[in-house]
Structure 1
Protein backbone atom coordinates (compact mmCIF):
# COMPACT_ATOMS: atom_id res chain seq x y z
CA UNK A 1 0.00 0.00 0.00
CA UNK A 2 2.86 2.38 0.75
CA UNK A 3 4.27 1.83 -2.73
CA UNK A 4 0.91 2.78 -4.25
CA UNK A 5 0.85 5.95 -2.14
CA UNK A 6 4.32 6.90 -3.35
CA UNK A 7 3.40 6.34 -7.00
CA UNK A 8 0.23 8.36 -6.57
CA UNK A 9 2.26 11.11 -4.90
CA UNK A 10 4.46 11.29 -7.97
CA UNK A 11 1.30 11.31 -10.10
CA UNK A 12 -0.14 14.26 -8.11
CA UNK A 13 3.06 16.26 -8.53
CA UNK A 14 3.14 15.49 -12.25
CA UNK A 15 -0.50 16.53 -12.47
CA UNK A 16 0.34 19.84 -10.78
CA UNK A 17 3.05 20.50 -13.36
CA UNK A 18 0.69 19.57 -16.21
CA UNK A 19 -2.07 21.82 -14.86
CA UNK A 20 0.34 24.75 -14.61
CA UNK A 21 1.69 24.18 -18.12
CA UNK A 22 -1.65 23.75 -19.83
CA UNK A 23 -3.31 26.58 -17.89
CA UNK A 24 -0.60 28.97 -19.01
CA UNK A 25 -1.01 27.71 -22.56
CA UNK A 26 -4.79 27.88 -22.59
CA UNK A 27 -5.40 31.03 -20.57
CA UNK A 28 -2.25 32.91 -21.57
CA UNK A 29 -3.94 34.73 -24.39
CA UNK A 30 -6.54 36.15 -21.99
CA UNK A 31 -3.99 38.61 -20.65
CA UNK A 32 -3.04 39.87 -24.11
CA UNK A 33 -6.40 40.28 -25.89
CA UNK A 34 -6.93 43.86 -24.73
CA UNK A 35 -10.53 43.33 -23.65
CA UNK A 36 -11.33 44.17 -20.05
CA UNK A 37 -13.41 41.03 -19.46
CA UNK A 38 -10.57 38.78 -20.61
CA UNK A 39 -8.04 40.71 -18.55
CA UNK A 40 -10.05 40.35 -15.33
CA UNK A 41 -10.65 36.65 -16.00
CA UNK A 42 -6.94 36.10 -16.77
CA UNK A 43 -5.82 37.89 -13.61
CA UNK A 44 -8.19 35.81 -11.48
CA UNK A 45 -6.98 32.57 -13.08
CA UNK A 46 -3.26 33.36 -12.95
CA UNK A 47 -2.90 35.09 -9.61
CA UNK A 48 -5.61 33.46 -7.49
CA UNK A 49 -6.79 30.07 -8.78
CA UNK A 50 -3.70 28.66 -10.49
CA UNK A 51 -1.35 29.06 -7.47
CA UNK A 52 -3.94 27.52 -5.15
CA UNK A 53 -4.52 24.51 -7.40
CA UNK A 54 -0.86 23.85 -8.18
CA UNK A 55 0.24 24.34 -4.56
CA UNK A 56 -2.51 22.05 -3.27
CA UNK A 57 -1.68 19.26 -5.69
CA UNK A 58 2.04 19.58 -5.01
CA UNK A 59 1.64 19.50 -1.22
CA UNK A 60 -0.74 16.56 -1.44
CA UNK A 61 1.77 14.68 -3.61
CA UNK A 62 4.69 15.58 -1.36
CA UNK A 63 2.84 14.32 1.71
CA UNK A 64 2.06 11.07 -0.09
CA UNK A 65 5.72 10.60 -1.06
CA UNK A 66 7.07 11.35 2.43
CA UNK A 67 4.53 9.07 4.21
CA UNK A 68 2.76 11.87 6.10
CA UNK A 69 -0.48 9.89 5.69
CA UNK A 70 0.92 6.94 7.63
CA UNK A 71 -1.55 7.24 10.51
Structure 2
Protein backbone atom coordinates (compact mmCIF):
# COMPACT_ATOMS: atom_id res chain seq x y z
CA UNK A 1 0.00 0.00 0.00
CA UNK A 2 2.87 2.35 0.78
CA UNK A 3 4.33 1.86 -2.71
CA UNK A 4 0.96 2.83 -4.21
CA UNK A 5 0.96 5.99 -2.10
CA UNK A 6 4.48 6.86 -3.26
CA UNK A 7 3.54 6.18 -6.89
CA UNK A 8 0.52 8.43 -6.60
CA UNK A 9 2.76 11.04 -4.98
CA UNK A 10 4.84 11.12 -8.15
CA UNK A 11 1.66 11.41 -10.20
CA UNK A 12 0.42 14.36 -8.14
CA UNK A 13 3.81 16.06 -8.31
CA UNK A 14 3.65 15.87 -12.11
CA UNK A 15 -0.04 16.72 -12.32
CA UNK A 16 0.27 20.08 -10.50
CA UNK A 17 2.54 21.80 -13.06
CA UNK A 18 0.66 20.19 -15.96
CA UNK A 19 -2.63 21.64 -14.72
CA UNK A 20 -0.98 25.04 -14.26
CA UNK A 21 0.45 24.90 -17.78
CA UNK A 22 -2.92 24.05 -19.35
CA UNK A 23 -4.67 26.80 -17.37
CA UNK A 24 -2.24 29.46 -18.53
CA UNK A 25 -2.16 28.20 -22.12
CA UNK A 26 -5.96 28.07 -22.17
CA UNK A 27 -6.08 31.67 -20.99
CA UNK A 28 -3.55 32.80 -23.61
CA UNK A 29 -5.40 30.93 -26.33
CA UNK A 30 -8.91 32.10 -25.42
CA UNK A 31 -8.42 35.74 -24.39
CA UNK A 32 -9.46 37.81 -27.37
CA UNK A 33 -10.31 41.53 -27.20
CA UNK A 34 -12.58 41.19 -30.25
CA UNK A 35 -14.43 38.17 -28.86
CA UNK A 36 -17.98 38.53 -27.61
CA UNK A 37 -18.22 35.40 -25.46
CA UNK A 38 -17.48 35.20 -21.72
CA UNK A 39 -14.55 32.87 -22.38
CA UNK A 40 -12.77 35.70 -24.23
CA UNK A 41 -12.87 38.01 -21.21
CA UNK A 42 -9.54 38.20 -19.33
CA UNK A 43 -11.31 38.82 -15.99
CA UNK A 44 -12.93 35.39 -16.17
CA UNK A 45 -9.53 33.77 -16.74
CA UNK A 46 -7.97 35.66 -13.84
CA UNK A 47 -10.73 34.32 -11.59
CA UNK A 48 -10.30 30.75 -12.91
CA UNK A 49 -6.52 30.81 -12.47
CA UNK A 50 -6.83 32.38 -9.01
CA UNK A 51 -9.12 29.57 -7.89
CA UNK A 52 -7.33 26.60 -9.46
CA UNK A 53 -3.68 27.60 -8.97
CA UNK A 54 -3.78 26.98 -5.17
CA UNK A 55 -5.44 23.63 -5.84
CA UNK A 56 -2.59 22.67 -8.19
CA UNK A 57 -0.03 23.80 -5.61
CA UNK A 58 -1.86 21.75 -2.98
CA UNK A 59 -1.64 18.70 -5.24
CA UNK A 60 2.11 19.17 -5.50
CA UNK A 61 2.49 19.54 -1.73
CA UNK A 62 0.32 16.47 -1.13
CA UNK A 63 2.36 14.54 -3.70
CA UNK A 64 5.64 15.61 -2.06
CA UNK A 65 4.50 14.35 1.35
CA UNK A 66 3.20 11.11 -0.17
CA UNK A 67 6.52 10.59 -1.95
CA UNK A 68 8.47 11.22 1.26
CA UNK A 69 6.36 8.60 3.05
CA UNK A 70 4.58 10.90 5.48
CA UNK A 71 1.33 8.98 4.94
CA UNK A 72 2.93 5.56 5.46
CA UNK A 73 1.34 3.12 7.86
CA UNK A 74 3.21 3.04 11.14
CA UNK A 75 3.86 -0.28 12.87
CA UNK A 76 2.99 -0.96 16.51
CA UNK A 77 6.64 -0.49 17.53
CA UNK A 78 6.80 3.12 16.40
What range is the shorter-chain TM-score in? 0.7 to 0.9
1:27 alignment counterpart = 27
- Number of residue pairs matched? 68
Give the equivalent residue in structure 2 for 1:54.
Answer: 56
Which has the larger Rg? 2
Partner of 2:17: 17
TM-score, normalization by structure 2: 0.71
Does the residue aligned with 2:32 lie in a helix, a strand or coil?
coil
Structure 1 or 2: larger helix share? 1
In the alignment, the residues of structure 1 paired with residue 16 and residue 29 of structure 2 have an alpha-carbon distance, to the nearest angstrom, of 21
1:29-49, Cα deviation, whole Å (9 max, x unpaired)? 34x4226x5121011122x12
Match of 1:43 among 46, 71, 74: 46
